[in-house]
């Protein structure tokens, strides 16, 4: 793959990440608006139930807890998956980098001249920088996906409740 191909691939990834971040930010705003609407509607339901216990909406009152537990459980599961995947990726990258470092140390130690040793060290450093940058981009992409995945069940629940309670 040429440097231009790599730059184009990186540019496309950054564009996708930016779009994902913007979409997640919009979903967060929608979720906050919906949560406010739900809280407002449910406060009215609770006030009506306190004013006249015969009119209490037990079904809605029970939903207040169960749906939160379900949404937060799904969100926590998404986060656990994301962090597990990231942990595996980081561990694998660390092992791979240890192999690169070992090869570089061998090249440096077996260099026939100080200039050759410096060249081997320089080659390793440049390669490390490139690998580290690529790994950080991958990590950033995974974190953005994880954020979106964790927000999704909470957003869906809040928006669905707001829509249902507006009726």
pLDDT tens, residue by residue, 25-75: 999 999 999 999 999 999 999 999 899 988 888 888 888 889 999 999 999
The whole-model pTM stands at: 0.80
Q: Is the residue at 142 inside a domain?
A: yes
Domain count within the chain: 1
Look at residue 148 and tell me if it is in a domain. yes
The predicted-structure confidence for 67-104, as pLDDT tens digits, reads as follows: 999 999 999 999 999 999 999 999 999 999 999 999 99
**53 assigned to some structural domain:** yes
Residue 35 resides in a domain: yes
pLDDT, one tens digit per residue, over 5-27 is 988 998 999 999 999 999 999 99
Residue 42 located in a structural domain: yes
Residue owning tokens 């979409």:
23
Q: Which single residue is written with the structure tokens 């339901």?
A: 45
3-state secondary structure of 167: coil
> What pLDDT, in 10s, does the model give residues 110-121?
999 999 999 999
What pLDDT was estimated at residue 56? Answer: 86
- Please check whether residue 99 is in contact with residue 127, taking contact to mean a CB–CB distance below 8 angstroms: no
Residue 59's domain spans which residues?
A: 13-166
Stated length of the chain: 167
Residue 103: its H or E element: helix 58-109
Q: Tell whether 1 is covered by a domain.
A: no
pLDDT at 167 over 90: no
Element (H, E) at 10: helix 3-51
Residue 48 CA to residue 132 CA, distance in Å, equals: 59
In a domain, residue 6? The reply is: no
| Within-domain flag for 161 | yes
Give DSSP secondary structure letters for 43-89. Answer: HHHHHHHHH-GGG--HHHHHHHHHHHHHHHHHHHHHHHHHHHHHHHH
């Amino acid at each position: 793959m040429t440097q231009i191909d790599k730059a184009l691939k990186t540019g496309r990834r950054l564009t996708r990440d930016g779009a994902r971040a913007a979409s997640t930010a919009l979903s967060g705003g929608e979720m906050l608006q919906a949560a406010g609407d739900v809280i407002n509607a449910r406060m009215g339901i609770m006030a009506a139930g306190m004013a006249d216990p015969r009119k209490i909406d037990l079904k809605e009152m029970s939903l207040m807890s169960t749906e939160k537990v379900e949404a937060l459980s799904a969100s926590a599961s998404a986060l656990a998956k994301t962090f597990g995947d990231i942990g595996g990726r980081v561990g694998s990258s660390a092992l791979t980098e240890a192999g690169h470092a070992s090869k570089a140390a061998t090249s440096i130690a077996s260099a026939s001249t100080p200039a050759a040793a410096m060249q081997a060290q320089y080659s390793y450093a440049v390669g490390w920088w490139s690998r580290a940058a690529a790994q950080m981009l991958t990590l950033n992409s995974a974190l953005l996906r994880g954020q979106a995945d964790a927000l999704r069940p909470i957003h869906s629940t809040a928006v669905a409740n707001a829509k249902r309670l507006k009726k």
